[in-house]
Amino acid sequence: MDFRTLDATAANIIAYYPKALQVLDGEIPTPVTIEFFLTNFCSFRCPHCRCATAHGSCDEYMDIVLFKQILTSLSNWGVGTLEFGGGGEPLEHPDIIEILELVAKHDMRCGIITNGYAFVENKTLMQKVAAVADWVRISLDAVTEESFQRVHGRKDISYAKLRAALRTFTSLTAQMQDARRRTRLGIKLIIQEANCDTAHRAFAEAEYLHADYLQFKWLEQHPASIPLAERQGIVDELTRLAATTSMPVDMLQGYGENASSDTASLASASSSSAATALTAPATPAATTAPTAPAATTAPNAPNAPTAPTAPTAPTATTAPNAPNAPNAPTAPTAPTAPSAPNATTPVATTASASAFIAPAASSAQTALSSGAGGRCVMSVLHPLIDWDGGVYICAFFHHRKASHLLGSLKEAPLSEIWGGELHKEKVAAVDAKLCVPNCPLKRYNPILSFIEQEAYRFAYI
């Protein structure tokens, strides 16, 4: 593998390479980031939301007493970063202000995936978020009133109000004295029939909102998906606009069997370099197993290091990616984590990059595979805590709850659940063929290969 062309969206794992080496040796170290689904409801009714069938009533949210207990336990355990996503809409939790205050009290940091509408006419919430969040990624999905209401399934919401609120939020964060603690704002659009003709306007909107990065993703395997044969014009226009901005711009791979491993790669421009081209969507991949994602840039990912030099450690929060996004067509799965914030110039991923197979417990050997045999090994550094206290291997658990459930925090602290024999058995038993096609966690696999081969250099600058 040519390690000079690695996915910059996953390079943040290099900051935790000692833990990555433990994972490759079959161990289960203390996790780096804990993802929370604080609620199981959302006031939006997005037709394309893959979590819609799992949504419950407005009383399905994490009890604040339980959250306090969990946070104290995590703080004592040394976990410093959290991610709030869903599932449901995290900022609609009835105790969200207190939750954010508790995060600040424990000197922890967080990333948030949200539709942002809770910010409307709520400056107090904006201030509380800005005090603890390294990044906030808005699932915007539309930039006009008509498409905003259509994409989010409600006629009583106003894009103009959200737009004003986000402008206020970025103005507020710009006043923060510590530039390194300034909350980065990301904007994301799921490209589909309702917004494909106005997706190009997201560039101007992101600039107006003073956003730090912009992401696009194709809606896959859904009645509102854009056919592959009709995407080229959109790709060309987004490529042209990406070359005119210094803002990091990502084209993320959609979730679904029809999404090719090299669906599209939109490398962003930086203040010192022009954007590289976005490639046309390729023929759908034949396999239904998750494949390594296409070249994308993460809002926080550093340049992937070249083989002979030591890598730079990135900011520590999850990777937005994820990290991430709560809008996708496949109903039975949970949302992804967003990519991490504060991106530098991206580096393209090779489409043929192989994927790791998790080694057997206590084995120092790692195996490379692709297709149906490929699987991620990064879930042990980024588990999921659901609103009811259930701990799951990863955020993609809705269609396999029983096999992914590790235990309940109502019965034992995470430190007692984590790393036990049951945990090891369940991780080893994960069937990659049942994983979400194009799972974003698999983008770490080539970086893990790089770490395994090149870690001996890391102490030498």
Residues of the chain short of pLDDT 50, as ranges, are 260-265, 267-373
**Sign of the dihedral through C-alpha 350, 273, 218, 298:** positive
C-alpha dist (Å) from residue 198 to 138, 143, 281, 318: 17, 7, 19, 30
- At 422, list the tokens: 């049951």
At residue 408, the 3 state secondary structure works out as strand
**Which residues contact residue 277 at a Cβ distance below 8 angstroms, ignoring those fewer than 6 apart?**
239, 267
Inter-residue contact 42 to 115 (CB < 8 Å) = yes
Cβ–Cβ under 8 Å, residues 263 and 282: yes
DSSP H/E element including 171: helix 159-174
Look at residue 271 in the predicted model and tell me its pLDDT.
34
Q: Which residues contact 189 (CB under 8 A, 6 or more apart)?
A: 140, 141, 142, 143, 195, 199, 202, 215, 216, 217
* Tens-place pLDDT, residues 8-17: 778 889 999 9
Q: How far apart are CA 87 and CA 39, in angstroms?
A: 7
DSSP characters for 241-257?
A: HHTT-SS-EEEEPPSST
Task: Give the amino acid at 193.
Answer: E
With a CB cutoff of 8 Å and minimum separation 6, the contacts of 31 are 79, 380, 381, 382, 383, 418
Supply the Cα-derived Rg of the chain in whole angstroms. 20
| Burial tier of 193 (Cβ tally within 10 Å: 0-12, 13-18, 19+) | middle
Q: Are 219 and 328 in contact (CB under 8 A)?
A: yes
Place of tokens 């239904």: 288
